[in-house]
Amino acid sequence: MKKEWDEKQERKQKIAPIFMSTGIVIILLLVVFCMFYFHSSIMKEGLKDSIKYNQYDKHYVLITGNNADPLWDSIYEGALEQAVEENAYVEYLGKNLSVDYSINELLQIAIDAKADGIIVEGNESEETTALIDKAVTSGIVVTTVFYDSSQSKRQSFVGVNSYNLGQEYGEQLLELCDESTERIFVLMDTNATDSSQNIVYLGIKEAVEKIKDNQIAIQAVAVDNENAFSAEESIRDIIMDTQNIPDIMICLNAVNTQCAYQAVVDYNKVGEIKIIGNYDSDTILGAIEKKIIYSTISIDARQMGNLSIQAMEEYMDTGHVSGYLPVNTKIINEDNVNLYRNAKQEMIEND
C-alpha cells in the first residue's frame, strides 16, 4: 500500500515537469496566436481604406439622362469591361452625386473635370450639341450612345438603327395582331428630342400597313419621362382610361415596359392588353415567362458599352473612326426566354 503510494508519488514527480513545460508552451502558443489574430484583424480594419486599387491611364465618363434605367447599368458595365482592357477607367458621372444634374450640366462638369473621353446619351438639342462641340474642341473624345446628336462634332455614334428597330417591332406586332385588334399604342418618350423614336414609329406603322383591310388604329402616346415617377403615372392614366383601352402597347424603353407590365397586372388587364417591350431585365423576362409581356426587343447593352469604348480608343489611336457603329438587337419571347435567361446567368457567373 505504502509502496504503491510511493511509486505514485515518484511517477507524479516525473510527470510534473512535463506537465509544467506543456502548460507553459500552451500559454505561449495561446498568447502568440491571439497576438497574430488581433494583428491581422486590426490590419484588416486598417487596410479597408488602402486596398490596392488599380491605376489607369485614361479617364472616361458616361453621361446619361436617366441613371435609374437598368439598360444604362448594362451599358456602363460593357464600357467598363472594355475600358479596363484598354487600361482606362469609366466613371458613371452623376451616379454618386447628391444633386441630379441634367445631361448638359454633366457634360459641363466632364469638360471641367478634364476627362479623356465622354460617352453621352445624345439628343438633338442645341445646347447639348454646343457642349459636345465644346468638349471636342477642348480635346475630349465624345461618343454618343443609344441616341445621337447628329449635328454635333461627336466622333462616333453607337446605337441601334432606329428604322430596323421599328421593323422588328412591326414584325412582333404582326404576329400579335388578329381580327379583334383595334387599337395600338406606341409609348413614346417626350423628352427624347432626336428623331430616332419617330423613325421607330415609322417602322412600326409601315408594318401595320402591310395588313390588308385593317381597322387598326395605331397611335403614338407621349409618356412624360422628365420628372421622376412621371412615366409610371402616365402609363397608369392610359390604362385607366377605359374608353380608350389599347389592345397592344409597344414600349420603347425599359422603364416604360416595366411600368406597363406592372400597371396591367395591378388593373387586372392581363390578356386584354398585350405588351411588346424593350430590354431584358429579370422582371421583364419573368413577365414573358408568365405570358404577360408577349415579347421584348433587347438591345445588346454591353456590346453598346464595348463599342463606344472601342470607338474612342480607335479615334485616339488613328485620329478617325466610323461615325456610326450599329448594335445588335434580339427578340425574346416565350420560346427562347429560358435559353436567354440561362445565357445571361452564365455571363453573370463568369463575371
Nearest CB to other proteins, comparing residues 45 and 179: 45
Spatial distance between the Cα atoms of 62 and 38, rounded to a whole number of angstroms: 42
Can residue 228 be called a binding residue for other proteins (CB under 8 A)?
no
Residues paired with 206 in a beta bridge? none
Can residue 202 be called a binding residue for other proteins (CB under 8 A)?
no
Q: Closest separation between CB of residue 93 and other proteins, Å?
A: 8
* 6 Cβ neighbours under 8 A, 6+ residues apart: none
CB atoms near residue 202 (< 10 Å): 16
Nearest CB to other proteins, comparing residues 93 and 292: 93
Q: Closest separation between CB of residue 223 and other proteins, Å?
A: 29
At which residue does the C-alpha cell 420603347 appear?
A: 252
| Interface pick for other proteins out of 45, 178, 213, 349 (rule CB under 8 A) | 45
Nearest CB to other proteins, comparing residues 59 and 341: 59
Can residue 344 be called a binding residue for other proteins (CB under 8 A)?
no
Cell matching residue 319: 485620329
The window from 33-41, 141-149, 159-167, 216-224 that contacts other proteins (CB under 8 A) reads: 33-41
Q: Closest separation between CB of residue 67 and other proteins, Å?
A: 13
Q: Of 6, 145, 40, 236, whose CA–CA distance to 249 is shortest? A: 236
Can residue 40 be called a binding residue for other proteins (CB under 8 A)?
no
Give residue 219's Cα distance to chain centre. 29
Can residue 35 be called a binding residue for other proteins (CB under 8 A)?
yes
Cell matching residue 199: 423613325
Give residue 53's Cα distance to chain centre. 24
Spatial distance between the Cα atoms of 64 and 71, rounded to a whole number of angstroms: 11
Q: Closest separation between CB of residue 264 and other proteins, Å?
A: 37
Three-point CA angle 133, 138, 139, nearest 5°:
100
| Interface pick for other proteins out of 1, 4, 55, 349 (rule CB under 8 A) | 55
Strand (E) or helix (H) holding 90: strand 88-92
Can residue 141 be called a binding residue for other proteins (CB under 8 A)?
no
Nearest CB to other proteins, comparing residues 33 and 206: 33
Can residue 38 be called a binding residue for other proteins (CB under 8 A)?
yes
Across 128-162, b (16+ Cβ under 10 Å) vs e yields bbebbbbbbeeebbbbbbbbbbbbbebbbbbbbbb
Cell matching residue 293: 409581356
Can residue 50 be called a binding residue for other proteins (CB under 8 A)?
no
User: 3-state secondary structure string, 231-245?
Assistant: HHHHHHHHHHCHHHC
Can residue 53 be called a binding residue for other proteins (CB under 8 A)?
yes
Phi, psi of 171 (to 5 degrees): -60, -45
| Interface pick for other proteins out of 41, 215, 342, 345 (rule CB under 8 A) | 41
Can residue 34 be called a binding residue for other proteins (CB under 8 A)?
yes
The window from 23-31, 230-238, 328-336, 342-350 that contacts other proteins (CB under 8 A) reads: 23-31
Nearest CB to other proteins, comparing residues 131 and 337: 131
| Interface pick for other proteins out of 14, 20, 126, 174 (rule CB under 8 A) | 20
At which residue does the C-alpha cell 478617325 appear?
A: 320
- Alpha carbon dihedral 186, 191, 196, 199, in 10-degree steps, equals 40
Residues in 61-100 that interact with other proteins by CB under 8 A: 84, 88-89, 91, 95-99
- Site of interaction with other proteins (CB under 8 A): 6, 9, 13, 16-17, 19-20, 23-24, 26-27, 30-31, 34-35, 37-39, 41-42, 45-46, 48-49, 53-59, 84, 88-89, 91, 95-99, 101, 105, 108-109, 112-114
